[in-house]
Amino acid sequence: MAKVLLGFMGAGKSTIARGLDPNYLDMDALIEQRLGMSIVDFFAEKGEETFRQIESEVLTELLETDQVVSTGGGVVISQRNRDLLKTNSDNIYLKADFETLYQRISADEDNQRPLFLNNSKGELAVIFQERQAWYEEVASRILDVTKLNPEEIVEELR
């Protein structure tokens, strides 16, 4: 059974996954490998529906592993993905309030996220609200990471 980290962008999924297991699986990186291009370019070329189908295929494979998995923030958009996640008993939602996440995303110059670049703060807040219910729907555990540093989060999850 995989240990799946869920949450909005800026929640620390990749950082925490790396802290739990240096050999963690990054779902977005695996999808980009399979596509042979960036997710952003694939979205523009083939559309969201085609992307979500491939995302579901990769998620299915990852759930069959015993590894730590860092998901993309949008993995919960698809009903199929939420159904797949509900079959996994170790889904951890790294939850933080919107303001905290927005500050983290704004400060992260190394990872310029298209969703952040192409939407206003208000639009992002709406996306965050919508996804929050879906994260909670599939989570077996919710950890509020708003006031925790990465070391504290990793320690809490061990």
Question: Is 83 known as a binding-site position?
Answer: no
Question: Is 34 known as a binding-site position?
Answer: no
Question: Is 73 known as a binding-site position?
Answer: yes
Question: Is 26 known as a binding-site position?
Answer: no
Question: Is 19 known as a binding-site position?
Answer: no
Separation of alpha carbons 58 and 70, rounded Å: 12
Question: Is 122 known as a binding-site position?
Answer: no
Residue type, 104: R
SS3 content of the chain, % helix, strand, coil (to 5): 60, 10, 30
Question: Is 18 known as a binding-site position?
Answer: no
Residue ranges of alpha helices (H) inside 22-138 are: 27-35, 39-46, 48-63, 79-86, 98-107, 114-117, 121-138
Point out the annotated binding site for substrate.
Answer: 28, 52, 73, 131
Point out the annotated binding site.
Answer: 10-15, 28, 52, 73, 113, 131
Point out the annotated binding site for Mg(2+).
Answer: 14
Point out the annotated binding site for ATP.
Answer: 10-15, 113
